[in-house]
């Protein structure tokens, strides 16, 4: 990784942005997102969890949704590191530390503490 780099994962197709008003996609209308089988792809479980957290009100800001996606990505990386036991163990510990965070900022603070990173 390049020193001082700051990777960002952005999906503008289903996210919130703000201008003079809040701009969002009402995921309540995207039935296919909630009908998928999370055993086939974990992302369907993430959408179902998001629906519960938001009480299906997609206008409200729900920072814990970002944590759900962080855990999703960690799980994907764990899957990809199959056979690298040391890395998998580390990632499982990391996932377990951040899965109950209320926001990505809180998860970021945990990462700072683990890696000794400073702003």
Residue 118 pLDDT class (50, 70, 90 cuts):
low
Residue 109, in any domain of the structure: yes
pLDDT of 93 over the 60 cut: yes
pTM: 0.76
pLDDT of 1 over the 50 cut: no
User: How long, in residues, is the chain?
Assistant: 119
Same domain, 95 and 112: yes
Q: What is the domain range of residue 77? A: 64-119
Residue 111, in any domain of the structure: yes
Residue 12, in any domain of the structure: no
Same domain, 72 and 89: yes
Q: Report in angstroms the alpha-carbon separations of 67 from 4, 11, 49, 89, 96.
A: 23, 15, 11, 20, 12
Indicate the number of domains in the chain. 2
CA atoms of 100 and 81, how far apart (whole Å): 23
Q: Report in angstroms the alpha-carbon separations of 102 from 32, 106, 112.
A: 26, 7, 16
pLDDT single digits (tens) 25-83: 788 888 888 888 888 888 899 999 999 999 999 988 899 999 999 999 898 888 887 76
């Amino acid at each position: 990784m390049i020193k001082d780099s700051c990777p960002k994962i952005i999906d503008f197709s289903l996210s919130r942005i703000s201008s003079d008003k809040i701009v969002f996609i009402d995921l309540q209308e995207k039935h296919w997102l909630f009908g998928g089988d999370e055993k086939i792809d974990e992302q369907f479980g993430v959408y179902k969890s998001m629906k519960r957290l938001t009480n299906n009100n997609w206008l409200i800001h729900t920072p814990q949704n970002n944590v759900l996606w962080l855990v999703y990505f960690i799980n994907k990386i764990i899957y990809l590191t199959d056979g690298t036991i040391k890395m998998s163990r580390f990632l499982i510990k990391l996932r377990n530390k951040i899965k109950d965070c209320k926001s990505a900022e809180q998860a970021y603070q945990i990462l700072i503490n683990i890696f000794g990173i400073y702003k």
